[in-house]
Structure 1
Amino acid sequence: MRNSIRRACVVLSAIWFAVIGAEAWAQAAYPDRAIKLIVPWPAGGSVDIAARIVAEQLAVNLGQPVIVDNRPGAAGNIGAAAAAKASPDGYTLLMATTPMIINRSLYSNLPFELSRDFTPISQLVNLNYVMVVHPSVANSVQELIAKAKANPGQISYASSGPGTQLHLIGESFRRQAGIDIVHAPYKGAPPALADMVGGHVQMMFPGLPVVEPLLKSGRLKALAVVSARRLPLLPNVPTLAEAGVPDIEFTEWYGVVVPAGTPDKIVTRLNGEIVKVLRMPDVRRRLVDRGFDPAGSTAPEFADLIQKEQKKWAATVAQSGIRVDE
């Protein structure tokens, strides 16, 4: 009888390990292969720059490659939709950005919803926008406005796509300044900036990280910053309010999310490792030098930011009157 009980216990223990123990071991071993970080914007843009700085050190900390996968198009919708369909196993991450919040109010048939189809991991960075022009256009905001009023419809402003925050900022500036300027949408900031350098488009409101090298080289000129205060990297550039165009203040954020249903233990592990990366002095220096403000947050804090941003940008989109249909 005792032998029968002993054998039964051994069998039950084996079953427990096979079902529960194996799962626990698999989670403890995470990650055991390469992780993909989908960036739904072109290589060389602000999102890509931040993603690669963080991914490089995250790979070291996790002991596995973190591969940046650029999937640009449709204002971030293509990459986000691909990530939403991925297996919720912690091996597909997505760089979530402000446009994914804006798109909810612009597109009638989005194949995903950020707050429903993804689990937040951590906010990565904040960044500010800069009003830039080709050096031949103007030396100040007021000079630009005067030129636009004298030549209605002749000055164009570039954006990273219809309905993106760069488009919304441009429309806000057009209304506030009372001028007639033309929207020129591109598939991301890098191609738009290339055309600006070539003199094919006159102005733009890009994020500081992607345009900072062009400002340093003098190929483009900063007329104002789209923030409440002047920026440390551009101390002599006024805010739009200081330049005579008030009530236009926008910032952007990037963060990491995973498909909904990803195990809590993996979410916790990724959050801890990403926050650890963002606290490393070398990583912080590299981000700050490119114009980013390193953040780092808990998963609930990032979820709360997403909810607040959805309300704010919905109001901005409604005010602009912009609508984009696929």
Structure 2
Amino acid sequence: MEDFAAGSRRLLPRRRLLAAGLGGALLAPAARAQVPAGARPLTLVLPFSPGAPPDAVARILSEALGRRLGQPAVIDNRSGASGNIGAEFAARAAPDGNTLMVHTSTLAMNVSLYRSIPYDPITSFAPVATLVEVDFALVAHTSAATDFAGFLQRARARPGAMNYASPGVGTPHHLCMELFKRQANVELTHVPYRGTAGAVTDLVAGTVGVMFMPAPAAVELARDDRLRILAVAADAHLPNIPAVPTVAEAGVPGVTMRDWFALFAPARTPPDTLRRLNEAINAVLASPEAARALEAQGYTVVGGTPEALRDRVATAVPRWAKVVRDANITAD
């Protein structure tokens, strides 16, 4: 996931430039007051490298969030170990509301992928709110398949002969395909890359046959007809590609992948502080400027309560633990 930005700047320049150009417009009129001199910084810990999707989302929201809270906002990128380094740092931070973390669905996956991690995805953090989410799509090079039925037929005719790409072991792209393989009763060979850019490059070249990826990126890549979107790993049709069936409609039930980015505080952060943080981030997400910038990058704005985010994480941990266990995956 971490070097997605390098590839996505080449693949999705219009979306990236639009979002970047709106950074200064994200302050709602009520939030434009100057931050008090000497105010303590609000630090947003990003367990991913600069330019990665979570980093881009955090930078869209951080300035407006800091101004609503009366604090200057600082982004602290602490990448490495699939987000574990930054998550450990955030978990150990003082629970005073001045250090927060933006993480993704991998927070709920890593606990099953590693033999030991220095935090617990549920007890080490206090949920604030979900920020955005994005559905995944199954994409194939046209040399591998042009429709879902053809893809399944070919994969079942020669088990293991077709390769699939992912940005690395344990990424949402990888786990989604492993879930699909089990539900569809097919054998595909995993080709893990060091990030999304290399995986997408080889998919476009036809070096690998198929891949699960965020649907907005799939839409952009499919415009030149070298790639086909076979199905979406969603509960319903997606508005921008309404003719594309869901994986369940195509004949394989139980395969959904909705990646999410969310805001967390360290555990033991006082309830009043969490309430103030939740109100502030929901106000920012509700602003037309933020919504336009995030939707331009293909995200669905979510927001909501800390309880909803806590339930999301608690549900995701056992779900992906089963996929990891059934497929015998380890990131160590």
2:189 equivalent to 1:182? yes
Question: Per-residue CA shift, 1:192-236, capped at 9, x if unaligned?
Answer: 323323433322111224444334455643111001211012112
User: Which deviates more from structure 2 when the two are superposed, residues 97-106 or residues 57-66?
Assistant: 57-66
Q: Is the contact made by 1:74 and 1:161 (CA closer than 8 Å) also made in structure 2?
A: no
Structure 2, unmatched stretches of 5+, are 1-35
Give the structure-1-normalised TM-score.
Answer: 0.79
Give the structure-2-normalised TM-score.
Answer: 0.78
| 3-state DSSP of counterpart to 1:273 | helix
Q: Is the contact made by 2:44 and 2:102 (CA closer than 8 Å) also made in structure 1?
A: yes
> 1:16 aligns to what?
none
Closer, same or farther in 2 for the Cα pair 1:185/1:261, shift >3 Å?
A: same
What RMSD in Å do the two structures reach over aligned CA positions? 2.9
Structure 1, unmatched stretches of 5+, are 1-28
> 1:290 aligns to what?
297
Closer, same or farther in 2 for the Cα pair 1:259/1:304, shift >3 Å?
A: same
Closer, same or farther in 2 for the Cα pair 1:65/1:189, shift >3 Å?
A: farther
Among 180, 190, 212, which residue is 1:173 paired with? Answer: 180
> 1:324 aligns to what?
330
2:150 equivalent to 1:143? yes
Whole-Å Cα distance in 2 between the matches of residues 30 and 321 of structure 1?
54
Larger Rg: 1
Among 72, 82, 85, which residue is 1:75 paired with? Answer: 82
Among 239, 249, 257, which residue is 1:232 paired with? Answer: 239
Question: Per-residue CA shift, 1:52-98, capped at 9, x if unaligned?
Answer: 33225324534544344444443322321232233334333212322
Whole-Å Cα distance in 2 between the matches of residues 227 and 325 of structure 1?
26
| 3-state DSSP of counterpart to 2:213 | coil
> 1:22 aligns to what?
none
Closer, same or farther in 2 for the Cα pair 1:269/1:113, shift >3 Å?
A: same
Q: Is the contact made by 1:75 and 1:187 (CA closer than 8 Å) also made in structure 2?
A: no
Whole-Å Cα distance in 2 between the matches of residues 78 and 188 of structure 1?
17
Total equivalences in the alignment: 298
Q: Is the contact made by 2:136 and 2:232 (CA closer than 8 Å) also made in structure 1?
A: yes
Closer, same or farther in 2 for the Cα pair 1:189/1:51, shift >3 Å?
A: farther
User: Which deviates more from structure 2 when the two are superposed, residues 62-71 or residues 180-189?
Assistant: 62-71
Whole-Å Cα distance in 1 between the matches of residues 43 and 207 of structure 2?
36
1:114-153 matches, within 5 Å, as: 114-153=121-160
> 2:203 aligns to what?
196
Question: Per-residue CA shift, 1:123-173, capped at 9, x if unaligned?
Answer: 112221111123443211222223334444332212233233322221122
User: Which deviates more from structure 2 when the two are superposed, residues 41-50 or residues 92-101?
Assistant: 41-50
